[in-house]
Structure 1
Amino acid sequence: MTRKYFGTDGIRGTANQEPMTAEIALRVGKSAGKKFAGRGNFRHRVVIGKDTRLSGYMVEPALTAGFTSAGMDVILVGPLPTPAIAMLTRSLRADLGVMISASHNSFEDNGIKLFGPDGYKLSDEVEMSIEEDIIDDSNIVLAEPKLLGRAQRLDDAQGRYIEFAKSSFPRRQLLKGLKIVVDCANGAAYKVAPTVLWELEADVISMGVSPNGFNINKDCGSTSTAAMCKRVVEEGADLGIALDGDADRLLICDEKGRLIDGDQLMALIAKTWQQRDQLRGGGIVSTVMSNMGLEKFLEDINLTLVRTGVGDRYVVEHMRRHDFNVGGEQSGHIVLNDYSTTGDGLIAALQVLSVIVDEKKPVSEVCHNFEPYPQVLKNVRFKKGDPLAAEAVKKAINDGEIRLGNEGRLLIRKSGTEPLIRVMGEGVNDDLVNEIVDNIVSEVTASAE
């Protein structure tokens, strides 16, 4: 069955347009409620969190209505990071967790992410079974009046996550003496991230902590880091931390204002955990987007890089099957499953900060572990059809692969969350990579019109 609603990271789209309407959210609640409320003769619970988008006020009550109509009790926690919802789902022994967020997208979009009772994102099979009932909910039997669910707010949810995040940081350490700029993207971590750093005694300079429903990810956060990098230099800070709208993504900049991506951060954590005899799996798991420089660095320290398809859920699935405890994406999703079941930008930042405290060196030295191969990524938006099926596009890709040979690689794919074709090229020769990517983009653009 072809997926209609679920993509690589739940359901996502423009708010108040299908699939992100109140009606679809209601159906998600009823459909997921049907699947999870029917197990065992006891009360069933779902945790619902959100980021700071205006449309969260529409989606949250619609989901609540759907779940309560299916007989599930709803625990509302308000704006919190995605990993906090995964943690609270396990901690509260809930049957299901829901995060209302479109992650790094602008405020016009929203999304629905579902977590199982173990705190992991639902499998493709479970999502498909829920989707069948979203498409046709005529077979859903709603709860009897006396079995309707209740909804209540959990007032101390933020404090629970703050303590959870701090527990991942070594008790022997503090952040005293470190000046840190933290950009919360006007998103879900706008309260908890600065609080965690402050309680660990850092000198905290906060940005992106005034959400108004419209400014999430707008010129701030991990997808727009220029202001943070500039602020680090202006303030003479030791580093900057940038999260995205739902705080499952992390980028860092050093004291010189230079950006450090997820590949460099994974290299640092893998090397440190290997030295501490903490690393499992003999390496790390990342996606096809990770730089070839990371792969070479890991080889040099006798570790492997396992690549998966794009999407942190596929990284996590491989980690679980093969007992890895470090994985992630170049974009900054870093999964450390000793602590969390999904990407957690704040916990990843604390692991990096632990190394910085131990080594007592500038961030530019600690976090720069390899020279990345020149890499170019460009996006082409399309409205319908399949531009990648065009013969001219296929030829441009084939010609590019021949020209790169063993000195590089190409990755051309459809985005799993937006109507985009992503064209990535990587290789030793920067000029050649740019020329090949531009040729492919030109052909894709022509085919997408």
Structure 2
Amino acid sequence: MGKYFGTDGFRGEANKVLTVEHAYKVGRYLGWYFGRNKDHAQVVIGKDTRRSSYMLEYALVAGLTASGADVSLMHVTTTPSVAYITRTDGFDCGIMISASHNPYYDNGIKVLDANGHKMDAKVEDLIEKYIDGEVDEIPFATKDGIGCATDYSVGRNRYLGYLMSIPTRAFKNIRVGLDCANGASSNLAKSVFDALGAKTYVIHSEPDGLNINTNCGSTHIESLQELVKSKGLDIGFAYDGDADRCLAVDEFGRVIDGDLILYVCGKYLKEHGELSNNTIVTTIMSNLGLYKALDKEGIKYEKTAVGDKYVNENMVKNGHCIGGEQSGHIIFSKHATTGDGILTSLKIMEAVIESKKTLAQLVEPVTIYPQLMKNVYVRDKKEAQNDPKVQEAIKEVEAKLGDEGRVLVRESGTEPVVRVMVEANTNEKCLESVDYIISKMREQGFIIKH
């Protein structure tokens, strides 16, 4: 990860960590970089519903047009819609202004390449150098070389049409709950489900710039659970602020996380001969219960580092068609280059309708193991993990758990923290195992009083 750009773009509190000056310089560099060998670079921008998104949008547009780029504005829309339009409409790059599931006062800039994938880290490194004044100043466009900005809401409508074309069956008479997190899906998701014939019940679709992700959406799914139970709905879906995530709720109000979604959709694809390489891509945080269930189905899996960026890289490199994370970032490479919450909900609906089973019945074969993770503040992350006594404790726990659990100790990429995670067949074993490993770190003097 770079100084400003992490695995999911440049993100932080608006006008503290991510300022209008940063956004202007990002625009200046991208407009120049993609316009070096043509008259005007073509860039498309979308944003979520945060109040600061408008400020950052105008700053980006100023920088881009000052460098000669022409900018098409999709306005409030989802991250996957920007990725789709970037690759289908011939743009040099796409930009999404969003901090995803973060609170309203944060914001972010995600840059996508011409194929709709997250921008190459080498280009992000160049942007960072420009922001910090480590490269020569780039020229301003002049006369007819100055760029312009135009409305491109047609792109958002084309994306909606694309989503509606994907399901194999209508959703007639199915009662669906949607939690739009007061975010980018607020003016999109209901339109798709209504057009496909569902009886749609929507909550948290009245954004005011300050309520995005506030006690709602995929990170606060309780109100969707209550909606499904109180209205007797068949199924529910919750998105995050930019709708690249989706979690589901079954007919009993139980949460269906990304691991269970991977199981349902991966098994469905296999049954229909569409699971390329008979493989699902997961991250190292996926639950042991998922892997045991996939083993029973004869489905292979691969594990990547945490982050949908790494899942996508694996899928592209190896030709896999489905992958994702517990958090609900699910990628269907046949249809999209990023996690797409609305698309994910449509694919779940397809599996439910075609199988003639409820969502609860589809996930029944999976037994999710209790999982506990504690963050430990340490003076040196690598030393704390690699210490012989700590390693010995990890091996002791692994031996004790055997096939009925696993241990994962990894360092945070942004904090002086080691994350100690244990899965086991009881909560008591999880707690006992995690605390035992942490106690060895404490005995060795690695833990910082925090």
Same fold, judged at TM 0.5 (above) = yes
Match of 1:7 in 2: 6
Secondary structure at the counterpart of residue 305 of structure 1? strand
Change (3 A) 1:34 1:398: farther
The alpha-carbon deviation at position 260 of structure 1 amounts to 0.6
Question: Residue by residue, what CA displacement relative to the aligned partner does 1:335-385 show, whole Å, maximum 9, x if unpaired?
Answer: 0010000000111110110111122222210233311122123456x7xx8
The match for 1:109 among 106, 110, 113 is 106
Cα distance in 1, alignment partners of residues 214 and 265 from structure 2: 29
Secondary structure at the counterpart of residue 49 of structure 2? coil
Question: Residue by residue, what CA displacement relative to the aligned partner does 1:161-185 show, whole Å, maximum 9, x if unpaired?
Answer: 2111112211xx1111111110010
Match of 1:156 in 2: 154
The match for 2:54 among 43, 53, 57 is 57
Cα distance in 1, alignment partners of residues 247 and 330 from structure 2: 10
Match of 1:230 in 2: 226
Contact 1:30 1:140 in 2 (8 A): no
Pairing 1:84–2:84 present: no
Normalising to structure 2: TM-score of the pair? Answer: 0.92
1:324-335 mapped onto 2 (5 Å cutoff)? 324-335=320-331
Match of 1:219 in 2: 215
The match for 2:186 among 187, 190, 215 is 190
Cα distance in 2, alignment partners of residues 295 and 365 from structure 1: 18
Match of 1:234, as an amino acid? S
Question: Residue by residue, what CA displacement relative to the aligned partner does 1:25-49 show, whole Å, maximum 9, x if unpaired?
Answer: 11111122222111x3342111111
What 5-or-longer segments of structure 1 have no aligned partner? Answer: none
Tell me whether 223-232 or 290-299 shows the greater mean CA deviation.
290-299
The alpha-carbon deviation at position 117 of structure 1 amounts to 0.5
The alpha-carbon deviation at position 328 of structure 1 amounts to 0.6
Secondary structure at the counterpart of residue 277 of structure 2? coil
Match of 2:433 in 1: 436
Contact 2:39 2:68 in 1 (8 A): no
What 5-or-longer segments of structure 2 have no aligned partner? Answer: none
1:350-429 mapped onto 2 (5 Å cutoff)? 350-379=346-375, 388-389=381-382, 391=384, 398-405=392-399, 406-407=402-403, 408-416=405-413, 422-429=419-426
The alpha-carbon deviation at position 91 of structure 1 amounts to 2.3
CA RMSD, aligned part only? 2.3
Cα distance in 2, alignment partners of residues 378 and 197 from structure 1: 39
Tell me whether 281-290 or 416-425 shows the greater mean CA deviation.
416-425
Cα distance in 1, alignment partners of residues 334 and 92 from structure 2: 22
Match of 1:388, as an amino acid? K
Match of 2:88, as an amino acid? S
Question: Residue by residue, what CA displacement relative to the aligned partner does 1:136-188 show, whole Å, maximum 9, x if unpaired?
Answer: 26513223312111111213233212111112211xx1111111110010111
Secondary structure at the counterpart of residue 247 of structure 2? strand
Contact 2:379 2:416 in 1 (8 A): no
Secondary structure at the counterpart of residue 335 of structure 2? coil
Change (3 A) 1:280 1:220: same
Cα distance in 2, alignment partners of residues 345 and 148 from structure 1: 37
Secondary structure at the counterpart of residue 10 of structure 2? strand
The number of residues matched between the two structures is 441
Pairing 1:447–2:448 present: yes
Contact 2:397 2:407 in 1 (8 A): no
1:197-276 mapped onto 2 (5 Å cutoff)? 197-276=193-272
Secondary structure at the counterpart of residue 435 of structure 1? helix
Change (3 A) 1:21 1:414: farther
Contact 1:387 1:447 in 2 (8 A): no
Of all paired residues, the percent bearing the same amino acid is 39
Cα distance in 2, alignment partners of residues 165 and 278 from structure 1: 19
Contact 1:31 1:130 in 2 (8 A): yes
Tell me whether 436-445 or 74-83 shows the greater mean CA deviation.
436-445
Match of 2:309, as an amino acid? R
Question: Residue by residue, what CA displacement relative to the aligned partner does 1:265-317 show, whole Å, maximum 9, x if unpaired?
Answer: 11111111111111112211110011112112222222211000011111111
The 4+ residue runs of structure 1 with deviation greater than 6 A are: 417-420, 441-445
The alpha-carbon deviation at position 251 of structure 1 amounts to 0.5
Match of 2:16 in 1: 17
Contact 1:249 1:332 in 2 (8 A): yes
Change (3 A) 1:221 1:154: same
